[in-house]
Structure 1
Amino acid sequence: HSTDQRTGTTHFEHDKLGRITQAGNELFAFDPAHNILSDGRSAVPDNRLKTYNGTTYYYDDLGNLIHRELADGEVQNYFYDLHDQLVKAEIFKKDGSKETWAYTYDALGRRIGKGRLKDGEVLGSLENQTRFVWDGSHLLQEVQLDGRYTYIYTDPDSYEPLAQVREWTTEDGEKRQQTHYFHCDQIGIPREMTDKDGNLLWFGNYTGWGR
């Protein structure tokens, strides 16, 4: 079990294969191929999840997710390049609106950019752009419209984040810097973020599978 001052104590159970079967009030079951089952407990054909709790999934011949229909009516389409990297996502909202996002990668397959396509879906004409800077397999920086975010980790060989440093320039041309701190659980997942004075800025409460 784990104990948190904000969420209390969460009890976990595992089967003989080490698979999680209970996390708090959540219960999980698996088919013989270790696929998690939906509430109906039906087996997962071809090792590809087709439906789960009202959401339907569709795949291409290579196993890439290409279409998803959510329980609330939202529909999502996904497009990939020759390296099976996601390059575009279409999101049809339940209110009738549509968003299209584009993604770019470097030669090592690391995502280096994403942005929302403007009306007309002309590639290269993006808004809400984010650029990603890497140090090996560690995400080093995110460059967004409101500034540059640099990530500091607990150890060079660790993926557990320690702090986020935001740098930006005000309308008056003054450079500013602000540091926020991550507080992670026993397996390195961020649970809280605070400022330098210890004020809570963000809090995450996850399900058994990290949602």
Structure 2
Amino acid sequence: MAIAVATVVDFVVDTNPNGDVPQIPGMPSMPTIPPRLPGLPTGLPSLPTGRVHRLPSGGAETWLYRWNSDDELVEVSTPGGERWRYRYDPLGRRIAKQRLAPDGTVAEQIGFVWDASVVTELIHSSGYATTWEYAADGPAPLAQMERPPGGPALWYWVRTDLLGTPTELPTPEGEVARHAAASLWGETPAAPGPSTPLRFPGQYHDPETGLHYNLFRYYDPAIGRFLTADPLRRSRSRRTTGPRQGPAGSP
């Protein structure tokens, strides 16, 4: 019988508070918080409103982010030269993301179908569609159905952790088609085979940026922070771009 070895990570809570800060041997500590942009690590250039608009990715390569007046991310330029455009409905829900060709035309599109505040279906411009069924008492997904154009539908159950984050995709026959080994802050490595873009409850993974779309904001699992401040401005903490509480349960 194989025994899985778990990774143990120690956490400390500072006095700002900035939340849980992982202490991992051999890894740099979490950057400090600059006064001009509470909650985001030092070195992320930002606009006066606190939105990240340029993020160095190493060397001379740069990610560019464009926002509208409602703090909605409307366009991203990647270091590889791709441009992605994001569209929203009047309720602030993202209804489409589009990869643009060099001439500005739409080369690829993914449409989003909503039921209140949860995404229930994705429709790709190729005709490929993905649909989710959710629990009646919360945002935890129960099943995922994929419909390739011209092919049979593929069904998967969705097994989640206690938070409602997908961890496994069992088939109707009981085989685990996908096991997601996410970090404590939600970063999930890419792997071949079936997958789901759903992450923490209410979050959707964008592979083109690595960010998680979270209805009114975008979350970066690499740093455990949102790219914009809490739109409700109800937090008493200076950490307006951080989660309401750390993954370990601290305030």
TM-score bucket (shorter structure):
0.7 to 0.9
Q: Find the counterpart in structure 2 of residue 111 from structure 1.
A: 94
Distance change in 2, residues 1:149/1:42 (3 Å): closer
Q: Find the counterpart in structure 1 of residue 147 from structure 2.
A: 167
2:83 to 88, 100, 107: 100
Secondary structure of 2:172's partner?
coil
Structure 1 spans left out of the alignment, 5+ residues = 11-23
1:179 aligns with 2:160: no
How far apart are the structure 2 equivalents of 1:203 and 1:45? 37
1:49 aligns with 2:36: no
Distance change in 2, residues 1:91/1:29 (3 Å): farther
How far apart are the structure 2 equivalents of 1:136 and 1:41? 36
Answer yes or no: is the 8 Å Cα contact 1:88–1:102 preserved in 2. yes
Q: Find the counterpart in structure 1 of residue 131 from structure 2.
A: 150
Q: Find the counterpart in structure 2 of residue 19 from structure 1.
A: none
1:140 to 120, 124, 139: 120
Identity %: 24
Answer yes or no: is the 8 Å Cα contact 2:31–2:41 preserved in 1. no
Q: Find the counterpart in structure 1 of residue 18 from structure 2.
A: 34
Q: Find the counterpart in structure 1 of residue 54 from structure 2.
A: 67
Secondary structure of 2:158's partner?
strand
Q: Tell me which amino acid in the other structure corresponds to 1:60.
A: L
Structure 2 spans left out of the alignment, 5+ residues = 23-27, 188-251
Size of the alignment, in residue pairs?
A: 178
Q: Find the counterpart in structure 2 of residue 188 from structure 1.
A: 164
Answer yes or no: is the 8 Å Cα contact 1:161–1:182 preserved in 2. yes
1:208 aligns with 2:184: yes
How far apart are the structure 2 equivalents of 1:41 and 1:142? 35
Larger RCO (CA under 8 A, 6+ residues apart): 2
State the 1:202 CA deviation.
1.7
* CA displacement, residues 66-111 of structure 1 (integer Å, 9 cap, x when unaligned): 111124764211001121111100111xxxx311100000010000
Q: Find the counterpart in structure 2 of residue 77 from structure 1.
A: 64
User: Normalized against structure 2, the TM-score is what?
Assistant: 0.63
Secondary structure of 1:132's partner?
strand
State the 1:33 CA deviation.
3.6
